Structure 1
Amino acid sequence: MSRESAILKMMPALGLLLFLGGCVTPDYWFDLPVPGAAEKPVPPTASFTLTGPQWQEPPLLPATDNNTLNLSLEQAIIFALRHNRQLQVNQFQPLIAGTFEAIERGVYDPELFAELLYSEETASETSRSTGERFSVEGEDVDTIIGLRQKLPTGTELSASMSHRRSTSDRTPKQQEARLGLTITQSLLAGFGPAVNMVDIGQAHLADQASLYELRGFIEALVAEVETTYWKYVLAEEGIAIFKRSLTVAQQQLDEVEKRIEVGVLPRNAAAAAKAEVALRQQALIDSRSTREKQRLRLLQLINAGNNDQLDLQITATGRPQTATSPFTDLSDRLLLAQRLRPDLAEARLRLQQQRLEVIRTKNGLLPKLQLFIDVGKTGYAGSFHNAVQDFDRDNYELSTGIMFSSLINNRRAQGHDLAARASAAQAKAALINLRNLVELDVRLALNETERCRRQITAGAVTRSLQEQTLQAEQERFAIGASTSLLVAQAQRDLLISQLAEIEAVVNYRIALVNLYLAEGSLLDRRGINTPNIGYP
């Protein structure tokens, strides 16, 4: 078999190779491992699935006829997830980040190209035989159509078909048809999917990181909603306590004034009771102001809608639960935090990004060496149809070779490689430091939770003893064995113990939220699903 016949028979096979290459997408050349480790189910308290970003005006919250909103903790969380404006803004970030991966993959999309060129010429020529000068007019029309594509292997493929029609007033019309196939393969710099898919891999990791960033924001939002809700409950309970204490203080003042009228007590004995009433009134004013501040913050978090709904009054239907048994699972919570904390997952992905950059910069240190093959088949005739049929003849074109280039010293590539390696080492050190900080957060949060749990029991005992103390002081005052000042002090001590008792319960609930936030399990425990997020 002649070399011409072998090349001719190879043309359909090479054309098929290019066609198949045009159908290849880089989606499966490079799979980034994002393993989802086996997870233990965490019992949720509510079920809610976060939807995609939507720009729409939130509906008005269901208020009663007297402009009061009955709000439970679960409702507050759901309203915030659906209507919080900052969350709506942040939800677009993963969508934007996801487009970058598609953009990078588009580099390897096949490209269809076509060209059309028309040229004409009028020239003077001299006959060699007679020496006579004569004019020549001619025109050429060139068309080309083809398909080319880059592959992640470092290969560039191009297949084309061209046609040229030449006419002249001195020569017969001639048409030329050509089929061509060009393959260029990088052998050193730019060789293989490992380096050529770096941009796609980094874009994919950035997309995943944006999801963890969004999860971290949602966790912080839910924690802030719960904390604000319980602070509002605490403010309401404080108002109720101050009202009761003000009533008791007013009753004590009335009793003192009656005794002054009958001459049992001197007139200056009412000063202590009046001061106690004034202090209760001041405390009640401050407590109402605190409740108003927490009300506005809570309405802002759940996005009550238009500004008029900031006038909504809130009736909190949730009540803080009492403490449970002591926490003895510190090691399990530390492991849970290492797996679920979104900032840790994001840091791991950033480290993988830097490692991919090292792959790119290391390859950039190599010289460029390319192997190219260009195969063509050309037919000549007076018409396009006959020119195509002329492909059956033995004429062919074949060129192959290598191209080499290398920068002396290559300081630019060396600088990029050094910076990439330093950034990767920095990202690794930052990840180690973050792991230590996460462990510290969990230990501190667990310590605070345990302290608040113990304070609940201690506060209840203190409040009970202060009630007995006040009762004893009032009985002594009734028989003249005590003064109004001592009674007022006993009332103040009881008030402080009552506030401390309810604060201990609320602080315990807030400490639990901070503990779940520190270990990264708050969303799972609340039954909130953030789709398409694994745990690397």
Structure 2
Amino acid sequence: MRRELSFSDALTVALAHNGELYLAQGDVAIAGDELALAGSVFAPRLVGNARVAREDQPGNAQSFAWKDQLASASLGITGLLPTGLTYALDLGASAERLSSPFLTVFSPAYTTGLTLSLTQPLLRGGWRSINRQPIYVAALRRDVTVQQLQVRLAELVGEVEVAYWSLVLAYREREAREASLKLAQDQLAESTRLVRLGTISDLDVLEARAGVGRTQQQLIRAQQQVADAEGGLRIVIVGNPDWGPDDSLVAIDNPDLTPVSYSVEEHLQLAHRNRPDLVAAHVELEAESAALAVTEDGLLPALDLVATASKLGFAGDLERNYVTSGVSVFDNSLSPSYVVNPDLNGGLGDSFKNLTTSGNYTVSLGLKLDLPLDNSAARARHDRQRHVRARAQTAKQ
């Protein structure tokens, strides 16, 4: 079957069926996902937990037997800021029923709390530049894959151009050889006629017959060039699944020769600026240099400033037992007697109310040091990245 192809048709088929181009497009998509993953570390998370527990203890050396029922739940938001600050804001509540005449004060007892925890790295992983560096690296590596895709596109377009116009040239060459053969055959016929008339010698006929033979050989070579060029184009564009092995590809476009308006030097400078492989090498070096800063940060010890602040609320039912025997509600025999805050009497709702109105709180501030005695893993990662960067530097040159 004769299949006529314009250059646009050939390029479309090649783009649709090139496996390397498909893989390069997949690399771009994967790099985009890696960039989204790198940026997701700053996304806040909603966390929650719920727990129920029951104990029935026989007692020990310091206390009598007791029973305890506990239910607790919490809901909070946690996340990471670009400065490296880790935050957690948690709202929790618990209900407890403790049955022990020498331990229980309130039963049931309802405890609520609002807690804010902050951890700011001062050395490793500290401050904005280093924490945004992985995003910067991922963005550069995505740009590298984009440039590599453009490299493959440019290579494929160039391969299609060479193969297509080679086929056009082979067809033109065959047409020229066919015309030459027709002319040589006409000359042979004319020479044969003239030798019969005695106008020319037999040597002229032999010379014309040799010319026909030479032209036939040239036509055979031209036909082979057409077959080779057609096979080359088929290899480049692959073709549609419904194309048969005996189908012939016919290039129907004519070359459009546009006059060159720039000097050779200007074209070389333009190509050097716009070549995607050079751009990709430059961007890859920049990405690996940024990744080197990340591994260098990993060599530092971890010194974190840790701060915690909690607001507390409580309510419950005061138990009458041995522990509370001296409380004024039940007994005034102690002097002075202990007076319970009346706001503490109530249920879970009262506990949440006391959370907002009472002045009960806890605060803490401290430092946390993590200094590996053997930092070989971090140093190995840093050394590896230095070698990767050196390789990128060599590729750029």
Give the paired residue count: 359
Out of 129, 137, 143, the residue aligned to residue 67 of structure 2 is 137
1:398 is aligned to 2:333: no
Shift of 1:353: 1.0
1:289 is aligned to 2:289: no
Q: Residue 101 of structure 1 aligns to which amino acid in structure 2? A: L
Residue equivalent to 1:164: 94
1:224 is aligned to 2:159: yes
- The SS at the match of 1:197 is helix
Shift of 1:91: 3.0
Q: Compared with structure 1, are the counterparts of its residues 252 and 402 closer, same or farther at alpha carbon in structure 2 (3 Å cutoff)?
A: same
Structure 2 unaligned regions, length at least 5: 317-346
1:305 is aligned to 2:263: no
Residue equivalent to 1:175: 110
Residue equivalent to 1:235: 170
User: 1:210-239 deviations in whole A, cap 9, x for unaligned?
Assistant: 111111122122222221221111111111
Q: Is contact 1:296-1:310 (8 Å) kept?
A: no
1:244 is aligned to 2:150: no
Q: Residue 146 of structure 1 aligns to which amino acid in structure 2? A: G
Q: Residue 352 of structure 2 aligns to which amino acid in structure 1? A: V
Q: Residue 216 of structure 1 aligns to which amino acid in structure 2? A: V
Structure 1 unaligned regions, length at least 5: 1-66, 434-536
- The SS at the match of 1:175 is strand
Residue equivalent to 1:149: 79
- The SS at the match of 1:173 is strand
Q: Compared with structure 1, are the counterparts of its residues 364 and 176 closer, same or farther at alpha carbon in structure 2 (3 Å cutoff)?
A: same
User: 1:189-209 deviations in whole A, cap 9, x for unaligned?
Assistant: 111222222221121111111
Residue equivalent to 1:530: none
Q: What CA distance in whole angstroms lies between the structure 1 residues aligned with 2:276 and 2:183?
A: 51
User: 1:59-104 deviations in whole A, cap 9, x for unaligned?
Assistant: xxxxxxxx655544345445544x3443455433322221111111
- The SS at the match of 1:306 is coil
- The SS at the match of 1:307 is coil
- The SS at the match of 1:181 is strand
Alignment TM-score, normalising by the size of structure 2: 0.79
Shift of 1:112: 0.8
Q: Compared with structure 1, are the counterparts of its residues 339 and 245 closer, same or farther at alpha carbon in structure 2 (3 Å cutoff)?
A: same
Instruction: Give the fraction of aligned pairs with identical amino acids, expressed as a percent.
Output: 26
Q: Is contact 1:194-1:359 (8 Å) kept?
A: no
Q: Compared with structure 1, are the counterparts of its residues 227 and 257 closer, same or farther at alpha carbon in structure 2 (3 Å cutoff)?
A: same
Residue equivalent to 1:93: 27
Q: What CA distance in whole angstroms lies between the structure 1 residues aligned with 2:175 and 2:265?
A: 41
Residue equivalent to 1:407: 372
Q: Residue 349 of structure 2 aligns to which amino acid in structure 1? A: H
Shift of 1:341: 0.7
Q: Residue 140 of structure 1 aligns to which amino acid in structure 2? A: L
Shift of 1:307: 2.7
Out of 267, 272, 276, the residue aligned to residue 342 of structure 1 is 276
Q: Is contact 2:24-2:145 (8 Å) kept?
A: no
Q: Is contact 2:134-2:294 (8 Å) kept?
A: no
Residue equivalent to 1:438: none
CA RMSD of aligned residues (A): 3.1
Q: What CA distance in whole angstroms lies between the structure 2 residues aligned with 1:169 and 1:324?
A: 99
Alignment TM-score, normalising by the size of structure 1: 0.60
Q: Compared with structure 1, are the counterparts of its residues 127 and 257 closer, same or farther at alpha carbon in structure 2 (3 Å cutoff)?
A: closer
Q: What CA distance in whole angstroms lies between the structure 1 residues aligned with 2:37 and 2:57?
A: 50
Question: Structure 1 residues 165-174 or 255-264, which shifts more?
Answer: 255-264
Out of 92, 103, 121, the residue aligned to residue 186 of structure 1 is 121
| 1:284-433 superposed matches below 5 A | 284-298=219-233, 301=236, 304-308=239-243, 313-320=248-255, 324=259, 329-382=263-316, 383-391=347-355, 392-408=357-373, 410-431=375-396, 433=397
| 1:180-219 superposed matches below 5 A | 180-219=115-154
Q: What CA distance in whole angstroms lies between the structure 2 residues aligned with 1:229 and 1:364?
A: 54
User: 1:18-62 deviations in whole A, cap 9, x for unaligned?
Assistant: xxxxxxxxxxxxxxxxxxxxxxxxxxxxxxxxxxxxxxxxxxxxx
